[in-house]
Every structure is written in C-alpha cells, then in structure tokens.
Chain A
C-alpha cells in the first residue's frame, strides 16, 4: 500500500451508518492488505459495507456474486471460443483470429487485477460455492496473480484491491481460507444504532412513527418460535410500506394492529406464528 492510500481512512458513507469497531476493522484490514470476511445475519448490511467503502474512498466497486455452481475460472477469465469460431468462419470482424488473447474476457476478479486504479472487490456470499472454489481462490488472492492457460500468460494485479468477502454461514468455510482473512461478525444493531440507520434511509421520518415502529419491530424480533427473524432490510421495507399507506395510523401500532406482516416475515410458518402472537401483543 502506498503512503498516499494509507492516509485514506474509512470513516463512513452517506447511506451507511458505521460503528466505530467496524471502522477500525476495515482500516486494519486495508493496512494489512488482508481480505476481510464478514459474517452475520442476512440483512445486517454486509454487502452495503462494501458499497460504503467504495463510496467513501472514491474507488470503483467490482462485485462478484458467487453462485453455487461457480468454478473459480469463471471469476478469473473466460475464453470465448464461440466468438472465435464464428470469426474464423465468417472473418468479418476486426479481431485477429490467430491471436487467442483477443478472445479472453476477464471475469470479476480478473477485472479487479487489470484495472489501473485501486478498486474495491466484493465477493458476495462466498459460502454458496463449494470448498474447492474457496481453496482455489486463496492462492489467487494470496499471490495476487493467476495464469491464463490458453495463452500461457500470468496476470498480475497492478493494484492490490481492497477485498471484502461476505458469508451467510450456510456452509462453514475451510480453515486455510479463514486463516488468510480477517474476520468480523456483524451483530444485529442495537435499537439506538437502528434509529440512526433508519434516519439515514428516511431523513424526513416522523419521530413518533420511528419510535413506535422500532419498538414494534424489536418486540417482533423477540417473539418466540420464529426461525428467520426480520432484519434491517425488512425493517426498512416495512417502514417504507407504512409510509406509503395513506390509511395507516400510528395508533394502530400502539394497539397491536400491525399491518404488512408479510414484509417482515417471509416464511409461512413464521408468518402464521407472528400473526398469532401479534394480535396478543401490546406495545
């Protein structure tokens, strides 16, 4: 890391409320040039953090959405054989068919290596892929280089990207993989913190609505027998729904008459359980 960039410390962004602890962790990871692995309940802003870092440091964000069937090579580069075959058949393109390099397309990790500027690379939901993917990726991120077998060329990263990796903990990650990352678990925000978060999303929100909806929300999170608790994302959408509904009165919330439960509870047993206990709830 150059002197110039180490002065660039991350301290929050316009759409993201950062807690002190996390800011420290991000800065330490950037200074140590280590990938940062973020775990936490869905909807606690893991992905948002990468966006916020990119915005705050004025870097471009490259997102690699990991899919279950993904092979590492797709994330690195693709050799577009079909276009080459097509070109050689018709010969009406400007590309040189004998030059394979012209048919190599960079994947997301590849892109983050070859760009001239320093970028933020977000590897989203790494746990979806199988362990092979994770293990293969390690070397690439460790060495900051990979080989393109077809043209026998090694691509080296011009700038080491800031790497953020998120995981929903669907599968456990392998030990060597964890060994090469810094780790943080984003806990669910406390009510005061949540207050701030909602205000960032709805700057003009009515104070009474904010207070009551948050209270109802945390009550509902505390409800028993719920498998998937509503998270920040659900809360934001729910408040959006409440605000959009002209018939909605804050009094309803106080009375325990809570609309749009479907926004908060996405699993049908949860929804049924919530519906059942909400009617008996007093806020």
Chain B
C-alpha cells in the first residue's frame, strides 16, 4: 500500500528507508491509522527524520492525496489566470459563473478590479483537484475549477492544526521555513550560523600534546601513548561586500549582516563593504555609499588569504559590467570596466565567492550572471549554498 507515495518521497529527495516503510505498513496493519489525518501524521513521524524535509513532505502529501500542484503557482501566474478568467467572463459570463459555481448576478455587480481580486482569492483558496499541471494556465481559463477532488473527511481538533484536514494542513506548508531550499530568512539564522561555524581553519593533528601524552601513558601502565593535537592556526579574515542598491537585495541585507556579525567572534577581522549592482573603482564602508569610499586598488594591501565574499543578484544591464564608464552613477566614471575590477579582486583573493539570492534555475537567463560566474564561483543564498560555499572557501589548494 502507498508504494507510489513512498517512491515519490524518495524521488523528491527525502531520505526514506525501506525499513521505515515496512514499519509504516506495520502501523497500518495494527489498525493504528484510521483516517487520512492519522496517515499524514504517522507517515511523517515514521518516514521523515528531519524537519528540513517536512515542507517537501507536505508538498508530496498534498500532491499525492489531493493532486495539488507540486509547486505552488507564483503570484504572477495567478494574476495571469485571473486576467484570462476576466476575458472569459467578458465573452461568456454564464459559462464561467456556472463553472465557478457562483451567481451570475453577483458577478455582474462587480467592477473589473473587484472581479480580478475575487478571481485571485478564489484561485488562492483553490482546494479542488486540478489535472494537467501547468497546462491549464493560459488556456483561456475555460474551467479552472475541477471536480472529484478528494476530501478527506473529519475535522481535526485542537492545537496548531486549526480545524483543517490533513491535506489542508499539508497545503499550508507550515514547515517551509525549515526547508533547505529557498532563500535565507531570519528564522533559518540558527541553521545558517551552524554552517558558517565551519569557517575555521583546520590543520593536521601534528603537534604533540605533552600533558595528555603523559596522562595517557600513565593510564596505559607506562606503555608510551602519543597524543597529537592540531597546531594553532590564525583565525580567518573575512571581507563581506554587499550589493545594497536595488530593492531585489533588500530582504537579505539584514539577515546577512546579522549572520556574519554573530559569527564575528570566530573571525580575526570582518569588514563589510557596500556597492550597487557591481564593483567599480570604489567600495563603500557606509551603507548609503557616500562617506567612506575604499579604493578597490587599495585592497591589494590586505592579506591575500582573506576570504572575500560578495553578495549580490548580479543582474544588471550588460554595459554596466563591460563598458568603460558603465556605472549608472555618473560620479563613478572610472575608465575601467567593472568586469576588470572583478577579475582584479578574484586574482587578489584566491578564496572568494559570490552569493546570489536569485534561485539557481534562473541564472542561465541573465547574461551578467553568466559573465560574473566566469570570474567568481557563484552559490545560491540558501542553507545548502552556504554550506557549499563554506566548503569551497575552506578547501586546501
């Protein structure tokens, strides 16, 4: 039973083991599970061993038992649909009213704006089953509301579940914050910090720990027992350069700064610089980018072992990156294209990375992202990306 469900879980990348699946069968056989709600809870507690996968589990569950889309339609998609529904409404008011199960009279009274909003709300609270995945988007919205949706009966009571059925709870995606993909948020701070803690130098254990050696030798009844420990290494210096220009970066700046400030104690030195879109002649130490400029060429005086971390969406007009006077700020006309500056930084600091908050699957469509990726290794600004980047920064040549 539920083999498909199990394999879907495996497919999306949740580490589920056959043993745990058998255990779920055992629970089913014991008659412990009497409703879909029970199944939702039981299968999760038995199969999924990390809250990071709870969100994925919710999605798979909702998809499997309800046929919800695996990925929620984006806001703009919704508004697309709503718009096409409005078109449809203008052509055939009766048909649409019937398919949505609402009174035509009621729709007649609404203004177009109200209609769009109404459609949007309907789409968002959509709970019936949909077939055909993304295809129904843009087909003119003849009948976006399907039938024969599966309704797990029974109400849930008490606590967090807020009287929703399991699939509804699953569709809520309460655990989205714990999931590993998706950009960093304030609530993932702890997890992220843990990844960052690996940003400490590790050397081989090659220094003799005399006290411990004596102790262990005594314990060993005089038989010599050598104990080695890691030789002391200096802590790292870190430079954090943040693109604080566009609104696209707005949500991440605070998170990042808090993150690195908390990790500060483990670094020997942490400098934060700001820039807009890309780096030209100067970086700024003050967020408004007015008062404290630092010449990029001066960076050469810093320790080349410094870890140089750039955060930005790397999305701009190609001329901003390639043209000699490419900056959108007139006072920054420096006579050298930003691309050259970036190459200079990458050469000065062999340990450098670029974090990008835009999702990795959108990168190929932006030309400047591709160009910058040739200079810096680029990582997604997610928990996983952070982990990979830390590994990269700590690599031994």
Contacts and interface: CB of A to CB of B under 8 A. Distances in A.
Interface of A: 18-22, 24-25, 27-29, 31-32, 34, 36-37, 39, 175, 178-179, 181-185, 187, 189-190, 193, 224-225, 227, 269
A181 B50 CA distance: 11
A21 B160 contact: yes
Interface in B51-86: 51, 54
Contact of A187 (B32, B46, B160, B258): B160
B254 A182 contact: no
Interface string B259-297: 001100000000000000000000000000000000000
B143 to A, nearest CB: 36
Contacts of B45: 25, 28-29, 36, 182-184
Contact of B160 (A19, A181, A183): A19
B11 interface: no
Contact of B50 (A27, A183, A189, A193): A183
Contacts of B261: 269
Contacts of B17: 179
Given A21-B41, A25-B41, A32-B27, A190 B262 contact: no
Given A28-B32, A227-B262, A39 B46 contact: no
Given A178-B50, A185-B51, A19 B38 contact: no
Interface in B227-269: 254, 257-258, 261-262
B30 interface: yes
Given A20-B156, A28-B32, 18 more contacts: A19-B159, A20-B161, A24-B41, A24-B42, A25-B41, A25-B42, A28-B46, A31-B30, A32-B32, A34-B23, A39-B51, A175-B15, A179-B17, A179-B49, A183-B50, A224-B186, A227-B258, A227-B262
Contacts of A175: 15
A22 B42 CA distance: 10
B48 A20 contact: no
Nearest to A36: B45
A178 B52 CA distance: 14
Interface in B171-219: 174-175, 178, 186, 189-190, 193
Contact of A27 (B32, B157, B160, B262): B32
A181 B45 CA distance: 9
A187 B174 contact: yes
Contact of A227 (B33, B159, B193): B193
B158 A20 contact: yes
Interface residues of B, number: 39
Given A183-B50, A185-B54, A225-B254, A31 B32 contact: yes
A178 B254 contact: no
Nearest to A171: B194
18 contacts: A19-B160, A20-B158, A25-B45, A28-B41, A28-B46, A32-B23, A36-B45, A37-B49, A39-B51, A178-B50, A179-B17, A183-B45, A184-B45, A185-B175, A187-B160, A187-B174, A189-B160, A225-B257
User: Interface of chain B, helix or strand or loop or mixed?
Assistant: helix
B48 A21 contact: no
A15 B264 CA distance: 41
A26 to B, nearest CB: 9
Nearest to B187: A229
Interface in B131-160: 156-160
A22 B159 CA distance: 9
Nearest to B261: A269
Which 6 A-B pairs rank lowest in CB-CB distance, beginning with the nearest?
A: A19-B159, A185-B51, A178-B49, A183-B49, A225-B258, A25-B45
B20 interface: yes
A182 B19 contact: no
A227 B27 contact: no
Contacts of B20: 179
Interface string B18-33: 0110010011001011
Contacts of B26: 32
Contacts of B30: 31-32
A227 B160 contact: no
A181 B189 contact: no
B61 to A, nearest CB: 13
